[in-house]
Each structure stands twice: as structure tokens, then as C-alpha cells.
Chains A and B, each alone.
Chain A
Amino acid sequence: MADEQQTSSTGGAPAQSRGPGDRGGRGPGGGGRDAGRKYFRRKKVCKFCVEKIDSVDYKDTRLLGQFVAESGKIVPRRLTGVCTPHQRRLTAAIKQARNIALLPFSGRH
């Protein structure tokens, strides 16, 4: 509970500070309350942090499949909102799963 409050406060502060300059570049998770634009973007949160999933297992294809595009590619962080430490573990797990034929290297063969 305590860390949730902390992450929201620390996540909010840099977003607000970079808000005005970054808006033209359409940064990920930008568009705060003060944007007043058409493009209102909800702040993405890391699924693994929210659900408190510590280990990313290569055997859990249901979970990994959510972060793999139709083509078999790993979906980038800027689209899924996964935080850097978890994306790193996720990437490693996806690559392991590919090696043991649980996930495809590329879409359809």
C-alpha cells in the first residue's frame, strides 16, 4: 500500500514537469489533466507492478502471450506501459519460451 502511493506520486511528478515540452512529441503516458487537448491519454501502468507478479515464468504462455504481437514480436514498453525492470524480465522469458517452442519466433509458418 505504501509503495503504491509512492510510485503514483513519483510517477506523477516527472510527467507533470515534462508535460508542456513533451506534448508536441506525443510522449508515452503524457497528456495530463491540464492538457485540455483532444488527445487525452490515460496514464499506463505496469501490469506486473499492479498485480504484484514478481516472477515472469517462461512456462506461463497465457501471460507472455499478452505481450507478443500477432507477428510474434515482443510488444514495446511504450505501447504496453510495462516498467523497465519488468520488461527486461519479460523479454528474457519470451525468448526462453520461443526456444522451447511455447511461443513462435514469427507469426505463422
Chain B
Amino acid sequence: MQRTYELMFIVRPDMPEEEQERLISTLESSVSGAGGTVKNVERMGKRRMAYVVRRFQDGIYVLMILEAPGNVVREVERRLRVTEPVIKFMTVRVDEEQKRLAKVKALRQARARKPAPAAAPEAAASEEQPAATV
């Protein structure tokens, strides 16, 4: 079952550029090797963290968008846990939310296309309801 996940992780701020690239490429290859795909990698750069993590005030944020089954995520998380320079990571499943957004968007477009006939019966229905309860 292919699902979409957002994987965000923070590496220590003193990690050299080439080592970051190496870490990202090993993660990518482990994802694609296990039957998933990496949609996008966004390097958000160094930024101040809201609190101190392992005595670091800053961290280099990286965001990866994966399309993979759940067991791949488990493997990637295990890998991140044992990688010493990674100080924090979080995976969020986003496909359900995207599905909901698409639905809301479609509904809004349908309503914008012909507002008058859609609004009239709804208004009539909402007026009828309180009358029926009283």
C-alpha cells in the first residue's frame, strides 16, 4: 500500500555539506530499494530551533516527501535513529489530508460555477428545519 509521508529531520548544525548530501542520498537509495519513491527533497537550511536539542540551539532542517508503504518508513526511521548526526526526526502521513483537501477544493469549485441554484435549495432546507422541530 503506497502512502505519502512527509519526513522531516534535523541534523546537527556543524555537519559538513558533503556529509549531508551523502546521508540524503543513502536515505533515498534505501527508500527506492525497498519499493518506495522519493518525490521531493527540500533542504530548509540552518535555522534556530525553538528549544535546545542535545545541547544544540540551531539545526539543519531537511524535508523529504516519500511515497512508500509503511514498512519502508519504519526502516528509514530506524536508520535515522542510528545515524549519529541526526538529532531529531518526524514522519507525518499526509495522503489522507491531501484527499480531504482535494475534496474541499472540488466542492468549492462546483459551488463557484453555479452559485444560485446550489444556494437556493440549501437556504430553503435550513429554514424548514427549525420550523419542523418547533
Contacts and interface: CB of A to CB of B under 8 A. Distances in A.
A100 interface: yes
B111 A2 contact: yes
Contacts of A82: none
B119 A10 contact: no
B122 interface: yes
B115 A2 contact: yes
Contacts of B118: 2
Nearest to A72: B50
B21 interface: no
Given A10-B126, A54-B104, A55-B97, A100 B115 contact: no
Given A54-B104, A59-B63, A98 B119 contact: no
A15 to B, nearest CB: 15
29 contacts: A1-B115, A2-B118, A2-B119, A2-B122, A5-B119, A52-B108, A54-B101, A54-B104, A55-B97, A55-B101, A59-B8, A96-B90, A98-B50, A99-B90, A100-B8, A100-B10, A100-B89, A100-B90, A101-B10, A101-B50, A101-B59, A101-B88, A102-B49, A103-B50, A104-B50, A104-B51, A105-B50, A105-B51, A109-B51
What are the 8 tightest A-B residue pairs by CB atom distance, in nearest-first order? Answer: A2-B119, A101-B49, A104-B50, A100-B90, A101-B50, A54-B104, A2-B115, A103-B50
